[in-house]
Amino acid sequence: MKNIKKITCIGAGYVGGPTMAVIAQKNPDITVTVVDLNEARIDAWNDEDASKLPIYEPGLDAIVTEARGRNLFFSTDVERAIVEADMIFISVNTPTKTYGKGKGQAADLKFIELCARQIAAVATSDKIVVEKSTLPVRTAEALKSILDHTGNGVNFHILSNPEFLAEGTAVADLQNPDRVLIGGEDAEAIEALAQVYEAWVPRERIITTNLWSSELSKLVANAFLAQRVSSINAISELCEATGANVDEVARAIGLDSRIGPKFLKASVGFGGSCFQKDILNLVYIARSYNLKAVADYWEQVIILNDHQKTRFAEQIIKTLYNTVNGKKIAFLGWAFKKDTNDTRESAAIYVADYLLEEEANIVVYDPKVSSDQIYRDLDYLGTRSPADNRRLVTVVNEPYEAVDEAHALAVLTEWDEFKAYDWQRIKEVMKKPSFVFDGRKLLNRSFLESLGFVYYAIGE
């Protein structure tokens, strides 16, 4: 049995950073090195001031502080880390392709392939290579082909070990996972990785499958989760039309143990770096096997999600007497969910873009997202010039500044602190009538109405 002493992880992002921090915390005898090409990101991981870590996750700073310098290291020296490792996790980004065949649907695997080529080029001893990134089913085949053609006599075993953590709860998810999934062909390699997790995960929660089941299970898990959100969001529109209340419906169905209560919160639409990308990838794979009905079925999850974001923006415009031109709309929240500074695919971006096309003035407050990031998100869409984005959008560091003289306020992220604001004060400084559009069903309708707000919430 191979005893793992040194682990390297390529990619110090939202997955690589927290995952390796927890592996290092729970395995003080294993040296864990996380490498990345992005020097600024590595510098931030090494910052003495734990509040400057490149990603915000509750509880992460304490774990990094505990393990960093002891058996957890962050570095840009990718080659050295590859040479020294017994086990290499690949945790780089796998975004949707933006060019060529499969544009807009397939996963772009160029970063994965670069990692494989670099491992093949510099490795001088046998390695277990672990796919941590989310990958299309059968990617391990391509990795194996690249690694096995190095010609320098090194043996590689490939494992699939997808990550199921959710942002905002990454530390808790890693410390107490529902399951750890390991797919592979070589029993010894599987056992070596299982032992790393066994330092804190009960053995019965470490499950093993063949490579292809493991790769596919990750895409399917995200597709099922996103499908639940789209399902309840579809019902939210029906609730608005019929006088039913979507929270009441969610509660009533969620008490059926076969359905279960989780992931039934209607919202302005799911965001995040993965749901959309992974479903598009699933759709692309199904199409590539000519499974049209399967592809169309899953594509509806995305179509409904886009509809939900548009519907929310249109509701704002309709309520504001069919024009938002020159009107000030305060956005509370920009992150795709609470307790993260991640904004990838956040519904806020698309709702803002829609309103900006109508020449609204948007003022954003988010407790964790920087103004640079907000402008980058809007510029990336390419809908209008960066100058116009800066003309129409203001980012503030203080919530009461955002709502001052605003015609309307929209809740885009469910940050807890929004609930505790002085809503009486907000009512006083907003224009009258004071409209609140709650895309997260976060606030209390009867309280806000008692203060005189006109309150709209998804699904009511």
Contacting range for ligand UGA; rule: CB under 6 A; set: 91-99, 112-120, 257-265, 326-334: 257-265
Residues forming a β-bridge with 45? none
Query: Residue 298: CA atoms inside 13 Å, Cβ hemisphere, count?
Result: 26
Residue 34 touches which of ligand NAD, ligand UGA, none (CB < 5 to 8 A by kind)? none
Residue 195: φ, ψ to 5°: -65, -35
**Binding characters for ligand NAD, 13-52, by CB under 6 A (x = yes):** xxxx------------------xxxx--x-----------
CA-CA distance, 186 to 242, in Å (whole number)? 56
Neighbours of 164 (CB within 10 A): 17
Residues forming a β-bridge with 34? 9, 74
- Beta carbons of 402 and 452 less than 8 angstroms apart: no
- Please calculate the CA angle 361-364-368 and round it to the nearest 5 degrees: 165
The yes or no reply on residue 92 touching ligand NAD (CB under 6 A) is: yes
CA-CA distance, 455 to 262, in Å (whole number)? 26
The yes or no reply on residue 165 touching ligand NAD (CB under 6 A) is: yes
The yes or no reply on residue 337 touching ligand NAD (CB under 6 A) is: no
CA-CA distance, 129 to 132, in Å (whole number)? 9
The yes or no reply on residue 122 touching ligand NAD (CB under 6 A) is: no
274 has catalytic annotation = yes
- Beta carbons of 251 and 262 less than 8 angstroms apart: no
- 18: which 2 tokens? 């927290």
Nearer to ligand NAD, 176 or 444 (CB): 176
218 has catalytic annotation = yes
Residue 342: φ, ψ to 5°: -80, 135
The yes or no reply on residue 111 touching ligand NAD (CB under 6 A) is: yes
The yes or no reply on residue 134 touching ligand NAD (CB under 6 A) is: yes
CA-CA distance, 314 to 120, in Å (whole number)? 52
Contacting range for ligand NAD; rule: CB under 6 A; set: 159-167, 184-192, 197-205, 400-408: 159-167
Which of 26, 218, 265, 277 is flagged as catalytic?
A: 218
Contacting range for ligand UGA; rule: CB under 6 A; set: 114-122, 272-280, 325-333, 395-403: 272-280
Applying CB under 6 A, what is the total number of residues that bind ligand NAD? 27
Tell me how far, at minimum, the Cβ of 67 lies from ligand NAD, in Å: 18
Which residue in 73, 67, 75, 64 sits closest to 36, CA to CA? 75
CA distance to 201, 213, 245, per residue, from 184 (Å):
19, 9, 46
**The one among 96, 133, 222, 341 contacting ligand UGA by CB under 6 A:** 222
The yes or no reply on residue 136 touching ligand NAD (CB under 6 A) is: no
Three-class SS state of 331 = strand
Q: What is the DSSP string of 335-353?
A: SSSTT----TT-HHHHHHH
Contacting range for ligand UGA; rule: CB under 6 A; set: 111-119, 165-173, 357-365, 441-449: 165-173
Restricted to residues 359-398, the positions that interact with ligand UGA (CB under 6 A) are none
Which of 9, 274, 277, 338 is flagged as catalytic?
A: 274
Residue 13 touches which of ligand UGA, ligand NAD, none (CB < 5 to 8 A by kind)? ligand NAD
Neighbours of 46 (CB within 10 A): 15
The yes or no reply on residue 166 touching ligand UGA (CB under 6 A) is: yes
Residue 200 touches which of ligand UGA, ligand NAD, none (CB < 5 to 8 A by kind)? none
**The one among 159, 189, 274, 355 contacting ligand UGA by CB under 6 A:** 274
Which positions ≥6 away from 287 have C-beta within 8 Å? 105, 295
Q: List the alpha helices (DSSP H) in 123-165.
A: 139-148
The yes or no reply on residue 167 touching ligand UGA (CB under 6 A) is: yes
Q: Which residues bind ligand UGA (CB under 6 A)?
A: 134, 163-167, 222, 225, 229, 263-265, 267, 270-275, 336-337
> Which residues are identified as catalytic?
163, 218, 274
Q: Contact positions toward ligand NAD, by CB under 6 A?
A: 10-16, 35-38, 41, 78, 91-94, 111, 114-115, 133-134, 163, 165, 167, 273-274
